[in-house]
Every structure is written in C-alpha cells, then in structure tokens.
Amino acid sequence: MMKNKVLVVAVHPDDETLGCGGTVLRHSKEGDEIYWLTITALREDFGYSKEVVEKRKKELMEVAEAYNFTKAIHLDFATTKLDEYTKTELITAISKVFVAVKPTIIYLQHRGDAHSDHCDVFDAVYSCTKSFRYPFIKEVYAMETLSETEFSAPLVMNAFIPNSFVDISEYIERKLEIMGLFESELGEHPFPRSVRNIRALATLRGAQAGVDSAEAFMCLKRIR
C-alpha cells in the first residue's frame, strides 16, 4: 500500500500541535512520511534576544524529534510581520517546498483566523494547490488553532465549519506532552492555549465524531 506524504504548514511553531498534533501522530504510526513547514521564525535581527532565539531553536529540535518528522523545513520569515513581504515572495518560497516534497496531503491554517499571518499564509499556500501545477496534491485540510480560530470576527466568511474529523483518542496525551515543549506558549485557563482547553476542544470534537477525542478540519480539496 502506497504511503502518504503529509505536509503540515505551521505559520508559527506550535500551530501544528494545536491544530493537528494528534493527526500527525496518527499519520506517523500509520507509516506516512511527514514534513513540517514553519513559515516564521524568531531571530536576533528581528529584535529578539539571543536567549529567546536559542530557546526556540531547542524547542524546534525537540518537537521535530517528538513527532519523528521525515524533514523539518523552516522558511524564517519575520513573525507577526508577514504583511511586510509581497505575496509573490511567500508563494515562491512555499512553492519551492511543495515541488521538492511533492506532498499528497496538506494541513494548513484556517483563512478566517484572527491572526493576519494565518490569512496571508493561507492565501499563499492555497495558490500552490492548483491541480494542473501540483498534480501530486490530493487532499487539503484547514485546521483550527486555539486563540486564533475562535477569535475571528463573527462574519460568515470567517466561519470554521468542520466537515472532517480524525479520532485522536489514542494520541491526545502525547499531543499535550508535545505542546508542553513550547513552554512560553502555554498558559492557565482561561488562557486559550492551556492544557485544559486543548483537551476540552478535543473532547467537543470527539463528541461530534462519536469518539473520545478528535481533531476537526475543513476539507478544502479531496481528489480520489
């Protein structure tokens, strides 16, 4: 049986764990190749201290090892400042990764998220899913990211309406452990990115899918 090539696009490191960490672990167990593409980075020339930059590098290595990614690819655009780049710059960088990896399945951020970086990257990524240019892509899913998806403006075009669910009952605890590697990103309830809320969302999506814990997605494309 042919295995999938999965590409997880994370605008900011930790988005992959919040949005599809359990799904990634499931793909790994099933023997799929998994590629991790991060778009933004913390760098000293972006104004971050050497200590913060080194801490983030350590986190990235630990997370990549925890997921057993086939390859981690970091583009190093300035975090929270993607609007300073042209759309062409983003599309060109992302397209090169797509051509090199040739993924069959893609997970990316929801376009309606409150963070403008997520919207910018969604547009760039989706531009790289045209079947006549990237025929290897067979499935594209938008994921929900706590602290961003649920805080989008209450407009129809921003709505996250899941139509695809993945049972992560077997992987929820490991997902939470990996999220713990991003020490600076976790907080206590009612902060959205907390262990309690990550588990609560998985429980809610699990109830919708008839399982203990699940992750939800919007299927944007599926070619069979």
Pick one of 3.40.50.1100, 3.40.50.10320, 3.30.565.10, 3.20.190.10 as the CATH number of 5-222.
Answer: 3.40.50.10320
Using DSSP bridges, classify how beta strands 71-78 and 33-41 pair: parallel, antiparallel or unpaired: parallel
* pLDDT score of 204: 98
- Please write the tens of the pLDDT for every residue from 18-60: 999 999 999 999 999 999 999 998 888 888 889 988 988 999 9
Distance spanning both ends of the chain, measured CA to CA: 15
pTM score: 0.96
- Please write the tens of the pLDDT for every residue from 141-150: 999 999 999 9
- Please write the tens of the pLDDT for every residue from 87-136: 999 999 999 999 999 999 999 999 999 999 999 999 999 999 999 999 99
H or E, element range at 220: strand 214-222
Which tokens belong to 29?
């167990």
- What contacts 117, CB < 8 A, 6 or more positions away? 11, 12, 39, 40, 79, 80, 82
Which tokens belong to 195?
């262990």
- Please write the tens of the pLDDT for every residue from 62-95: 999 999 999 999 998 988 789 899 999 999 999 9
